[in-house]
């Protein structure tokens, strides 16, 4: 009697499962990560699973250490980069919780549907395997709706939680603390640098702008309102002029241009961690953003990794 092991199938299944788990982890903890990092991390998880699956002589302890500890640590490091010890531990714990939840659903589907028999009876579609591509496709046709459902639950949870954060704006040697609303409807981007743009009340910005920047801001407003304004008199090498941005917007059938200032830093306290974004453009809004003064800043979702 012998046991056949198919590392290609182990890798493929674990790669896609790890891809889903890492994506959910990114959304749950609002971490920043690129698609390439997530894919590379999932590939590492698939490789670890394939190697562990072929090394049948490993005892339970070594198998757990290799697959559940070392693989998880390496995957998180690749996916989210260098983290503090506390944050790193939090990501590991949440990953285990998500894995337990998703694994329970997958096991329920496996043991209480015909998929188990399909796994046993499907034949010879993949190299070195007795599982066909049809079976693999069916598995992922089940996993994709499952992932969408989990994301929907996550979105419902987020809508019930507070979307207002403590925000600190830093410009040169000045800083100010305020409240910021995370608005998924904010789709403003710098047209040149392609970076997300936040919206800040003018009354708040005036508290951290230097007299030179206020003068530049006034000149920019004159430029937008006066078609005959001579922009040639601007000193384009002036460090204050270089902070100016012109941000086009479209809202409720209206189009226009907002003036922005490049801030040095924007610190966002999510309650779990403080996210630091550097060189963020703040588009200046002349009126109040909140009737109840609940917030003076509208954040862009990319600033907190959503």
Give the model's pLDDT for residue 122.
47
User: Tens-of-pLDDT digits for all 306 residues of the chain?
Assistant: 455 656 677 777 778 878 888 887 787 776 777 888 888 888 888 888 887 777 766 666 677 777 777 888 888 888 888 877 777 787 888 777 777 666 656 655 555 555 555 555 544 444 444 555 666 666 667 767 776 676 666 666 555 455 788 999 999 889 999 999 887 777 888 888 888 999 999 989 989 988 888 888 888 888 888 777 777 677 766 777 888 888 888 775 678 888 999 999 999 988 778 889 999 999 999 888 887 778 899 998 888 876
Fold of 164-304: Cathepsin D, subunit A; domain 1 (2.40.70)
Q: What is the DSSP string of the chain?
A: ------HHHHHHHHHHHHHHHHHHHHHHHT----HHHHHHHHHHHHHHHHHHHH-TT--HHHHHIIIIIIHHHHHHHHHH-S--HHHHHHHHHHHHHHHHHHHHHHHHHHHHSTHHHHHHH----STT-S--HHHHHHHHHHHHHHHHHHHHHHHHHHHHS--EEEEEEEETTEEEEEEEEE-TT---B-TTT--BEEEEEHHHHTTT--HHHHHHHHHHHHHHH-TT--GGGS-TT-TTGGGEEEEEEEETTEEEEEEEEEEEEEEEE-SS-EEEEEEEEEEEESS-S-TT-S-SEEE-GGGGT-
Give the model's pLDDT for residue 125.
46
Q: Where are the domains of the chain?
A: 7-160, 164-304
Give the model's pLDDT for residue 306.
62
Give the model's pLDDT for residue 282.
92
Give the model's pLDDT for residue 198.
92
């Amino acid at each position: 009697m012998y046991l056949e092991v198919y590392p290609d199938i182990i890798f493929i299944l674990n790669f896609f499962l790890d891809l889903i788990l890492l994506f959910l982890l990114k959304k749950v903890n609002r971490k920043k990560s690129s698609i390439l990092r997530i894919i590379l991390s999932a590939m590492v998880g698939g490789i670890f699973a394939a190697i562990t699956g072929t090394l049948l002589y490993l005892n339970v302890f070594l198998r757990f250490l290799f697959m559940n500890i070392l693989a998880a640590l390496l995957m998180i490091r690749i996916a989210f980069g260098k983290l503090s010890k506390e944050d790193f531990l939090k990501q590991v714990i949440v990953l285990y919780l998500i894995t337990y939840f998703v694994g329970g659903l997958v096991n329920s589907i496996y043991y209480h549907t015909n998929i188990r028999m399909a796994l046993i009876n499907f034949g010879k579609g993949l190299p070195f395997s007795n599982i066909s591509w049809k079976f693999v496709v069916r598995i992922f046709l089940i996993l994709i709706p499952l992932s969408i459902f989990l994301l929907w639950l996550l979105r419902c949870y987020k809508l019930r939680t507070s979307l207002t954060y403590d925000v600190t704006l830093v410009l040169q040697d000045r800083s100010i603390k305020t409240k910021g609303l995370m608005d998924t409807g904010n789709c403003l981007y710098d047209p040149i640098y392609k970076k997300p743009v936040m919206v800040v009340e003018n009354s708040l910005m005036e508290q951290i702008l230097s007299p030179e920047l206020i003068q530049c801001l006034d000149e920019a407003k004159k430029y937008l309102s006066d078609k005959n304004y001579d922009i040639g008199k601007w000193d384009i090498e002036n460090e204050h002029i270089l902070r100016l941005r012109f941000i086009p917007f479209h809202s409720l059938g209206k189009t226009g241009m907002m003036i922005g200032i490049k801030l040095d830093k924007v610190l966002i306290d999510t309650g779990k961690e403080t996210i630091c974004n550097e060189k963020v453009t703040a588009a200046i809004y002349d009126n109040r953003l909140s009737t109840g003064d609940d917030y003076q800043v509208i954040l862009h979702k990319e600033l907190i990794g959503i």
